[in-house]
Structure 1
Amino acid sequence: MKWLSRFLLAALVYTSQVAAAEWLMLSEEAAPQWLELPVTVEAIAASTVSAQTSGRIIELPYDVNDLVPQGAVIVRFSDSEQRARLQQAEAGVAEALSRQGETGKELHRVKALNEQGLVAKAALDQAMANAAAAEARTKQALASVAQAKELLEQTVVRAPYSGIVQQRFVELGELAMPGKALLRGLSLEHLRLSGQITQRQLAAAQQSSAAQLQLSDGRIIELGEPKLTIAPEASNGGHSYLLRLTLPEADYSQYSIYPGSWQRLKLQVATQSVLRLPLSAVIWRGEVSAVWQKLPEGVVLQQVRLQQLDVNSVRVLSGLTAGAVVAADATAYASRFSQQRRAVQE
């Protein structure tokens, strides 16, 4: 603490000669009070993609741990059989339409003759039945075309959502049948947090109005009002409750948030009055923190005890009270103070 004593004495002697700095007056302000919980990241959307048609695998562009965008082709089958079925179905539609047109014309002629009394009612009934049958065959042929197109589309398997491949069950050249598992993956955009809370923390967590996810590098992700699900049953061993929070849909890979990783969840449970101090106003010497405080008798270096609030500010636990005036930039003030002191000594 010798450095602190020397600075205190020097500040009292030379304070009137030190250049003016920007000062700020501390006042109490409302700040959120957080409940911090260790949580595990879980994937909500995780699924196994299976084959819906038969065919030989001719394209398999992604492997395990590859990042796959939504809609990308993940498996492609040979489609010669499906294309042949589609052509056959389209030919059936052409034939049915031709037959429907023919029976329609025949029905029109028979109706005209029946109105003139030249044909019996039975002939009209037969023409109407033929026309109806032709129309039904056309619908059947169109349905066959739709089915063939669906089978052809199933030869190309696309990713249902963006994510990573966890497991691959097939290889190039294999023959796949309907129902065969192809790939297993999970989404990196549909995630949730899972953790345990004690019985004492239960009521506060249920009334939480805001949530934050604190990353290991100090960054904060604002989650807004949390969508919490708390199990109605406590565990037998630890008497704790399972808490789950669904994260807003986003790409969390940019934050290196992956399923299975540990994170720190902060739930706002109340507000409290604090003395907030910007980090720029603090001088650190190892674990000792101090600020330049302006007093009636001069400027002193006041030791303080602090608590981190966010990346840019701290909370004053002791050493200062509301109304205290401190230098806004402690480093700049110390530099000017040192320069002035050397000038006086010379």
Structure 2
Amino acid sequence: MQHLPMARFTVCHKQLLANGQTGLRWHCVKNPNNRGHAPCLLLEISNIRFSEFVPGTGEIMKLLTRKLLTAALMMVASAGAQAAELPFETTRLAVHKVERYRLFEGTVEAVNKSTVSAQTSGRILAINFDVDDFVKAGEIIVRFSDREQKAAVMQAENTLNLARAQRIAAEQDFKRVKKLFASGTVSRARYDTAKSSYDSAVANEARAAAALKQAREQLSYTIVRAPYSGFVVERHVEIGEVANPGQPLMTGFSLEKLRIRADVPEQYARAIRKANRARVVLGEGKTIKVTSLTVFPFADPKSNTVTVRLALPDGVKEVFPGLLVKAAFSTGTTEALTIPARAIARRGELTGAYVIDSDNRLHLQQIRIGRKYGKDGIEVLSGLAAGDRVALDPLKAAIYLKKSTGSENE
């Protein structure tokens, strides 16, 4: 029996896609060692091999060749169209230089927190606000009895009027003596006496005016106003009590200006001071930008920590005094593999991404993610590598994968 040559058809799928061409490469190989076997037609398409042993020669060989050639062209065209038309956007992952952060706990403080004290003595007539009440800046919070202060004002006004009259009389006398002294009618001693009386009257008037101003100031202290808008957190007096200067009346704080106080280990103080960047991390991935950062120039010898103050933007609503929060301090830069947040697929407890391999095949790859970097970058700890191609729309990728799997099963 005559041994026929082996006809081999090869479709180089990857090469054809790269070159943008579709074609077949055919060659015959004579194998002298292939004795006792029928000639074999071998077809390779995208690493999938189809073989059929064909006994016989001549027209049968030509017919099978045409059929296999037509089938190969159809499969390559179908695979090329499937590979080129993905109904979703993709991106390739890369390693980026990102900031390295360290998280430490901190406590929110009010920048404006103070205790209002009495500046004059008197009996308390009215207390207009209590604990947890909101007070606007300039509103009256406590009112004192003002009888003594009003009497002092009246007395000071009378003293000022008397001093002013004496100053006017002394001024007129000094002007008359000055003219007489110039004409040589009066002596030098009389001129000096008149001038001294006038200077003394001017000083007495100024002293009386200062006393009146002080008396009026004491009268204004009988009405205590809020220095800024905020909430009352503690009340120290009751109606009817007699308060003395310096006695605490009411304590409050403002929510308009807040800051965070954090104690960080001393080994991180130098890096934090150098980077001078931080943010406040809240729940559900929310963050608050820090406007300024102050690192204290000394450490606590007992705890070996350094205090850091973080100023928050004015009018921030997400935090309040006394709240425990996490502060993320920048300590330098590092390299990390990141993936866009919208490319992450979550299926229950599974976190993954739809990956397109080198053969343009789609599959769901489980990954482990880390911190968030920037506005849309999530650190990939494992499961992916730089250069991997992922789908940006997990929902469309899942639908496409399901349809593709179903059509293959059919």
| TM-score, structure 2 as length reference | 0.70
Give the aligned length. 329
Higher relative contact order (CA 8 A, sep 6+): 1
Q: Is the 8 A contact 2:282 2:326 kept in 1?
A: yes
- Which amino acid is 2:389 matched to? V
**Cross-structure match for 1:7:** none
1:140 Cα deviation after fit: 1.0
- The alignment-based identity, stated in percent, is 31
Deviations 1:260-301 (CA, angstroms, capped at 9, x unpaired):
x21111111121112221221111112212222223322322
**Cross-structure match for 1:49:** 116
Q: Does 1:327 align with 2:394?
A: no
Q: Does 1:307 align with 2:346?
A: no
Q: Does 1:26 align with 2:93?
A: yes
1:51-90 → structure 2 map (5 Å cutoff): 51-90=118-157
Rg larger for: 2
What secondary structure is seen at the aligned counterpart in 1 of 2:176?
helix
1:137 Cα deviation after fit: 1.1
- Counterparts of 1:78 and 1:253, CA distance in 2: 40
What secondary structure is seen at the aligned counterpart in 1 of 2:177?
helix
* Cα separation, partners in 2 of 1:146 and 1:299, compared to 1, 3 Å: farther
- Counterparts of 1:312 and 1:71, CA distance in 2: 46
Q: Is the 8 A contact 2:293 2:311 kept in 1?
A: no
Deviations 1:172-198 (CA, angstroms, capped at 9, x unpaired):
33332223221133454253413352x
What secondary structure is seen at the aligned counterpart in 2 of 1:296?
coil
- Counterparts of 2:109 and 2:237, CA distance in 1: 26
- Counterparts of 2:296 and 2:160, CA distance in 1: 54
What secondary structure is seen at the aligned counterpart in 1 of 2:317?
helix
Q: Is the 8 A contact 1:282 1:289 kept in 2?
A: yes
1:221 Cα deviation after fit: 1.4
1:64 Cα deviation after fit: 1.7
Deviations 1:178-222 (CA, angstroms, capped at 9, x unpaired):
23221133454253413352x654554454431111123432112
- Which amino acid is 2:263 matched to? G
Deviations 1:56-82 (CA, angstroms, capped at 9, x unpaired):
323322212334444443222233432
- Counterparts of 2:381 and 2:395, CA distance in 1: 21
- Which amino acid is 2:206 matched to? K
- Counterparts of 1:103 and 1:60, CA distance in 2: 50
In structure 2, the gaps of 5 or more residues are 1-78
Q: Is the 8 A contact 2:102 2:331 kept in 1?
A: yes
1:151 Cα deviation after fit: 0.6
1:317 Cα deviation after fit: 1.6
Q: Does 1:102 align with 2:169?
A: yes
Q: Does 1:133 align with 2:191?
A: no
**Cross-structure match for 1:243:** 306
**Cross-structure match for 1:284:** 346
* Cα separation, partners in 2 of 1:232 and 1:103, compared to 1, 3 Å: same
Q: Which moved more, 1:220-229 or 1:203-212?
A: 203-212
What secondary structure is seen at the aligned counterpart in 1 of 2:143?
strand
Q: Is the 8 A contact 2:356 2:389 kept in 1?
A: yes
**Cross-structure match for 1:255:** 318
**Cross-structure match for 2:183:** 116
What secondary structure is seen at the aligned counterpart in 2 of 1:101?
helix
Task: Tell me which of 259, 263, 268 is aligned to 1:191.
Answer: 259
- RMSD, matched Cα: 3.1
- Counterparts of 1:299 and 1:135, CA distance in 2: 102
Q: Is the 8 A contact 2:95 2:386 kept in 1?
A: yes
- Which amino acid is 1:191 matched to? R
* Cα separation, partners in 2 of 1:255 and 1:342, compared to 1, 3 Å: same
What secondary structure is seen at the aligned counterpart in 2 of 1:314?
strand
**Cross-structure match for 1:6:** none
Q: Does 1:158 align with 2:214?
A: no
Task: Tell me which of 334, 346, 352 is aligned to 1:272.
Answer: 334
1:171-190 → structure 2 map (5 Å cutoff): 171-188=238-255, 189-190=257-258
* Cα separation, partners in 2 of 1:232 and 1:177, compared to 1, 3 Å: closer
- Counterparts of 2:180 and 2:144, CA distance in 1: 56
Q: Is the 8 A contact 2:260 2:312 kept in 1?
A: no
- Which amino acid is 2:326 matched to? R
* Cα separation, partners in 2 of 1:200 and 1:248, compared to 1, 3 Å: closer
- Counterparts of 1:119 and 1:230, CA distance in 2: 74
- Counterparts of 1:291 and 1:108, CA distance in 2: 101
**Cross-structure match for 2:381:** 317
**Cross-structure match for 2:103:** 36
Q: Is the 8 A contact 2:263 2:306 kept in 1?
A: yes
